[in-house]
Amino acid sequence: MVQHIAVVGASLAGLRLLEALRREGYTGRITMIGAENELPYDRPPLSKQFLVEGWSEEKLALSKAGVAPLGAEWRLGQRATALDPNALAVSLADGSRVEADAIVLATGAEARHLPFERGLDGILALRTLDDARRLRDALAGAPRVVVIGAGFIGMEVAASCRAKGCAVTVVEPLPAPLIRGLGPILGERVARRHREAGVEFHLGVGVSGFEGEGRVTGVRLADDRVVPADVVVVGVGAAPAVGWLEGAGLAIENGILCDATGATSRAGVFALGDCARWENARYPERPRFEHWTSAVEQAEVVARRLVQGKSDPHAAVPYVWTDQFDLRLAIAGEFKPDDAMHVCLGALDEDKFLVLFGRGGKLVGAVGCKRPRQLNAARRWIAEGLAFDEAIAQAK
């Protein structure tokens, strides 16, 4: 009988799990452990509305009704330092220890850093609310900003900084932005919108170091050019926050390996969200989805597993979105650069379109710009295994 559940990670995945547990009828004790001092907040606005529109921190709250009705014990500002899977216990930075009947790991991911940052002032990352506070303060006075990395976070930050009136340059070693998320053709489409807004790009070139004494003054590229900078935002991806689990005996490989219901290799220990890699019948490579929707959906599965003792295997089609200037792009599925691509609705030079991707005769991915209804239909078709040609016909 599970009478006490400890959740390590007090952000989106952890909060949604807490809510799902209560909806499932669980009345036992729940301890929420969070490394940050804040109650759970929404991260997507940190690179957009929080920077551009000056959103108050209260608007970021994930639980609009507050967390008190959920009846959990909150241990905030306490980083987990070790897991004892035999005793089902978590050690915290203050020297205390939390023992439970089940432990759920929802520690998320941490921003990757460049090895030569040297601790110069003005070099920032964006992952947490504290990061966003520092970046928002740094943007006062419209400084020259260099964004390193043209993934989703980097491109969103670039758009937000430009909207704030900053001179913005993006540096990316790949030949186009967002290649991993959108492929080269759609990535170049997004780059064109950024260029129209005045963002400059250095593509196909890496970064070899930074200029400045005490504070950054420039970014040195691999070809020895120097791009002047007052503020540098490093957006080179994120790594699962699992370093503290060393020695715990969990199977870990670019994330905590789980079955299709969130169970890890150790009994009584579960994981979800950005720190976990779930088995997925649709994706044998077991990708680690760093998506808002994935965390929410996995929370429902783990809650059922904990309360009912079983849950159907989870094999959802991933979904993510990004807002950059007036482009609102939503992406469903997983596709590769050499997959067949078909523009079904609109045109890429417009701001409203739907693109489908196929592989082996099956629909595997979709990208919609201001096409929410059609994109949601495409996500459902991917789950149903619809043929690529049939999906094209239905989209029209």
Residue 125 within a domain? yes
Helix (DSSP H) and strand (DSSP E) numbers for the chain: 8, 25
173 and 265 together in one domain = no
- Alpha-helical (H) ranges within the chain are 12-23, 49-52, 129-138, 152-163, 179-196, 292-308, 372-384, 388-395
Phi, psi of 327 (to 5 degrees): -90, 125
24 and 59 together in one domain = yes
Residue 321 within a domain? no
Pairing of strands 362-369, 353-359: antiparallel
Q: What is the CATH number of the domain that holds 354?
A: 3.30.390.30
Phi, psi of 25 (to 5 degrees): 95, 10
Per-residue pLDDT at 118: 83
Closest listed residue to residue 220, CA positions, set 231, 229, 230, 207: 207
Per-residue pLDDT at 27: 97
94 and 123 together in one domain = no
Supply the range of the domain harboring residue 218: 113-234
155 and 204 together in one domain = yes
3-state secondary structure (DSSP) of residue 276? strand
220 and 175 together in one domain = yes
Per-residue pLDDT at 337: 86
15 and 119 together in one domain = no
Residue 267 within a domain? yes
Q: What is the pLDDT of residues 241-292, one digit of tens each?
A: 999 999 999 999 999 999 999 999 999 999 999 999 999 999 998 889 999 9
165, 168, 204, 223, 224 from 227: Cα distances, Å: 18, 10, 15, 11, 10
Low-confidence stretches of the chain (pLDDT < 70) are none
Phi, psi of 190 (to 5 degrees): -65, -40
Distance between CA atoms of residues 153 and 323, nearest Å: 10
Per-residue pLDDT at 163: 97
126, 168, 195 from 220: Cα distances, Å: 21, 16, 22
Q: What is the pTM of this model?
A: 0.95
Per-residue pLDDT at 65: 86
Question: Domains in the chain: how many in total?
Answer: 3
Q: What is the CATH number of the domain that holds 122?
A: 3.50.50.60
274 and 251 together in one domain = yes
287 and 376 together in one domain = no
304 and 333 together in one domain = no
Per-residue pLDDT at 270: 98
Per-residue pLDDT at 64: 84
Residue 65 within a domain? yes
Per-residue pLDDT at 8: 98
